[in-house]
Amino acid sequence: MYCKISDKFKEECGVFGIYGTEEASVLTTLGLHSLQHRGQEGAGIVSFDGKTFHSVRKQGLVGDNFNNKNILSQLPGKTAIGHVRYSTTGESKPENLQPLFANLAIGGFACAHNGNLTNTYSTKKYLVESGSIFQTSSDTEIILQLVARSQKKKIIDKLIDALHQIKGAYSLVILTNKKLIGVKDPFGIRPLVLGDKNGSPVLASETCALDMIGAKYIRDIENGEIIVITENGIESIKPFKKIAERPCIFERIYFASPDSIIGNKTVYTYRKALGEQLAIENNIVADVVVPIPDSGVSAAIGFSQKSKIPFELGIIRSHYVGRTFIEPSQNIRQFGVKLKHSVNRSCIKNKKVILIDDSIVRGTTASKIVKMVYEAGAKEVHLGISCPPILHPDFYGIDTPSYNQLIASKSNLKEITKMVGAKSLFFLSLAGTYKAMGCKRRNSKRPQFTDHCFTGEYPIDVTEILKLNR
């Protein structure tokens, strides 16, 4: 299935929760739909009707699975949490769909997780040896098992007990028979925001989910914060030593939805700024700026506005890309990229073209598109990337290839340029990236962002994972 290997980092996960409204599962469905860009593999919702927890988890898109009254009527109750998933750890199996649920001695406990734990192996080993039975290969189940094992009396204390035993990146949304709980890890690597829908508190990975359901944005959950929503209101607990937050820079570069607001600006603004910065750093003479759609569009608009080179839709993206087209034989393998992209000849023929994309991971798509553009008659094809070269994998919830599949990790600029077939290839500098984020400069001692994919500086220890992957 040749469409399946994308030349992007695979997305990670999105979480959502709402407390105290008649249409909890419907609003959760809508919220998950707006977070679908964070995970297309499957979705799940757990609701609580005052007596019983209800769970529906399905592989496939939210809009394909949670679209009828039948399913929504299986999810009654005034409180619900939901999850969209792209498998980061745990294989692509139905039982790994979230939210996970456990019947604890003190009642039901449902949990949706965005992120990735880094001490999974050792913690799971300990738990299994002392008698826990794991039903999934998801690292999220470790949190459930730790909560189940805690000998503390209250659910929040059990949760804090568990959090002190895990390491990694996590934004959690948890549902119990009394509470809706949000958690962000000490570094605040993955996003989580608090909103309000006519008095009902909402938790969501991004503000676009608040917009979708017409909820007001209240504030971001802080790094290391536990937020507990009950009928008595909202309580904030901070069980960790306070440190400066260090959110993942990739949320702004390409994960988050362009209309989501982070740090008071829409993500689109950051991406346009990355494109502008790229134009400032690279002064190339050309006839047209053409985005590789849809990922490169925002940066290309910024590049065009700054460079004054006209923006043209020289590459068209199909709305109808099936993820499952087969490859019937060798001699039509070439059609792979065409299923997704086609060239708009008139913008390209006899033109000097600057292609803009937001990143390069393996380089496979880029090289196909450069070839396609040359075949359509371009005089020159330059490729501009609106972030620095990706040299290191992520282990905090983004499904990245290993070192030897990252083109920038194994090849130098000249080699990559040759491989993608462009006349020139240029990346944005790390300094330019921080500028586009609105920082004067990168604080090298305590960087404002988790930027390990560019720098190799991992804020949370990843030794256990590296050892296992070896």
Residue 248 is among the residues annotated as catalytic for this protein: no
Q: Should residue 330 be labelled a site residue for a copy of itself when binding is judged by CB under 8 A?
A: no
Nearer to a copy of itself, 340 or 435 (CB): 340
**Touching a copy of itself, residues 66-85 (CB under 8 A):** 67-69, 72
Task: Show the tokens assigned to 197.
Answer: 């829908």
Question: Binder to a copy of itself among 13, 37, 179, 407 (CB under 8 A)?
Answer: 37
21 burial class (0-12, 13-18, 19+ CB within 10 angstroms)?
A: buried
Q: Should residue 177 be labelled a site residue for a copy of itself when binding is judged by CB under 8 A?
A: no
- In the complex, what is the shortest distance from the CB of residue 2 to a copy of itself, in angstroms, rounded to a whole number? 11
Q: Should residue 294 be labelled a site residue for a copy of itself when binding is judged by CB under 8 A?
A: yes
- In the complex, what is the shortest distance from the CB of residue 98 to a copy of itself, in angstroms, rounded to a whole number? 15
Q: Which stretch binds a copy of itself (CB under 8 A): 48-56, 126-134, 159-167, 430-438?
A: 126-134
Question: Containing H/E element for 424?
Answer: strand 424-427
Q: How many residues bind a copy of itself (CB under 8 A)?
A: 80
Question: Binder to a copy of itself among 5, 243, 244, 332 (CB under 8 A)?
Answer: 332
242 C-beta neighbours (distance < 10 Å), count: 11
Q: Should residue 12 be labelled a site residue for a copy of itself when binding is judged by CB under 8 A?
A: no
Q: Should residue 163 be labelled a site residue for a copy of itself when binding is judged by CB under 8 A?
A: no
For 311-378, give the DSSP string. B---EEEPS---TT-----GGGTTHHHHTTEEE-GGGTTT-EEEEEES--SSSHHHHHHHHHHHHTT-
Query: What span, in angstroms and rounded, lies between the C-alpha atoms of 192 and 208?
Result: 12
Nearer to a copy of itself, 105 or 468 (CB): 105
**Catalytic hit among 3, 13, 111, 453:** 13
- In the complex, what is the shortest distance from the CB of residue 268 to a copy of itself, in angstroms, rounded to a whole number? 5
- In the complex, what is the shortest distance from the CB of residue 61 to a copy of itself, in angstroms, rounded to a whole number? 6
**Touching a copy of itself, residues 38-57 (CB under 8 A):** 40
Closest CA to 156 of 86, 50, 263, 229: 229
Q: Should residue 216 be labelled a site residue for a copy of itself when binding is judged by CB under 8 A?
A: no
Nearer to a copy of itself, 150 or 450 (CB): 150
Question: Containing H/E element for 276?
Answer: helix 267-281
What are residue 136's phi and psi, to 5 degrees?
-130, 170
- In the complex, what is the shortest distance from the CB of residue 408 to a copy of itself, in angstroms, rounded to a whole number? 27
- How far is the first Cα of the chain from the last one, in angstroms, to the nearest whole number? 27
Question: Binder to a copy of itself among 6, 8, 78, 104 (CB under 8 A)?
Answer: 104
Question: Containing H/E element for 138?
Answer: none
What are residue 287's phi and psi, to 5 degrees?
-90, -35
CA distances from 309 to 269, 303, 312, 314 (A): 19, 8, 9, 14
